[in-house]
Amino acid sequence: MKAIQLKSFDLIEENPLEYVDIEVPEPGEGEILVRVKICGVCHTDLHTVEGELPKAKLPVIPGHQIVGVVEKRGKGAERFQIGERVGAAWLYSACGKCVYCRRDKENLCKSAQFTGYDVDGGYAEYFVVPEKFAYSIPDVFEDEEASPLLCAGIIGFRALRLSEIKPHQRLALIGFGASAHVAIQVALHWGCEVYVYSRSKEHREHAENLGASWTGTADQDPPCKVDSVVNFTPAGETVLDGMRILDKGGTQACAGIYMTPIPEMDYNKYLYHERTLRSVANATRLDGEELLRTAAEIPIKTTTTPFPLKDANKALKMVKHSELDGAAVLRISE
């Protein structure tokens, strides 16, 4: 099968991803073989490729926003039929037995494995996944529309929940890429007033077109304090921008898997009055199921830019430099 493989970490500008031909994997017990049709391109893939998440297995096939059809079933796999459309996300597996799994926090499982990081992912014609960790894709979405929901959508949805935003409250989104352009649609569906920060004029215009009440840059303040902030950027200094605009008792949730150091924070200026700063680590299957259900109800409209599989390096470069509205996706098979 044709696949994109990372053999050593390097800056994406050095084109470290290789277009290779390797054997089709075989599904084991409880697993399904998926013929991949679309795989989204995520900032997490970029952090993996550039070595900012250095524990990734090498070589590895990146990609974890996977939409395809079931090609083959392993022993005991009966949840999906051959030919049925399925999706796969960042969380590849969890033990189901540890203290975190028993508390419905499988995203924190010490034995968790992640797609395109611990195991080969979806930048390939075929991909194997435990059927318990695959998703049914709502019929309302085409393959390309569904792909960004499987990471950008899921992590954005969990970040909204952990920001403690309530219907009809005021929400700020810092950074406006693939995840934020889904999260804003959920927040507006809940009746929230949404303010968006982005250094990109094009991204601010995109946010306004989707319904943002106000957009601006980091040196500006919105019309009023906000109840919650979701920070989608990997830049630690933006955390202080989020805390600055947060009202008393508010929460900022940082949605990225990687972030540069956060500058020293003045306690009284930024954190006092029961403000909360928290991270978002991965997501659970329940987050994915609830996001897909909510997305179908709205229905969410995703913005995508397609690339052929062999152009994975180019797609990731454009993600790195914020040159896309919405999400990049790789078209792998028809």
Tell me the pLDDT tens digit for each residue of 42-101: 999 999 999 998 789 999 999 999 999 999 999 999 999 999 999 999 999 999 999 999
| 2-150+283-331 is a CATH 3.30.70.20 domain | no
Cis bond before residue 59 (omega within 30° of 0) = yes
Number of residues written out for the chain: 334
**Cα–Cα distance measured from residue 307 to residue 240, given in angstroms and rounded to the nearest whole number:** 36
**Cα–Cα distance measured from residue 160 to residue 165, given in angstroms and rounded to the nearest whole number:** 6
Q: Where are the domains of the chain?
A: 2-150+283-331, 154-279
Q: How confident is the model at residue 324 (pLDDT cuts 50, 70, 90)?
A: confident
**Cα–Cα distance measured from residue 26 to residue 63, given in angstroms and rounded to the nearest whole number:** 18
Q: Are strands 193-197 and 214-216 parallel, antiparallel or unpaired?
A: parallel
Which pLDDT tens digit goes with each residue over 89-133?
A: 999 999 999 999 999 999 999 999 999 999 999 999 999 999 999
Which pLDDT tens digit goes with each residue over 209-256?
A: 999 999 999 889 999 999 999 999 999 999 999 999 999 999 999 999
What is the per-residue pLDDT for 16? 98
Question: Is residue 334's pLDDT more than 90?
Answer: no
What is the per-residue pLDDT for 325? 81
Which pLDDT tens digit goes with each residue over 269-297?
A: 999 999 999 999 999 999 999 999 999 99
The β-bridge partners of 19 are: 4
Question: Topology of domain 154-279, per CATH?
Answer: Rossmann fold (3.40.50)
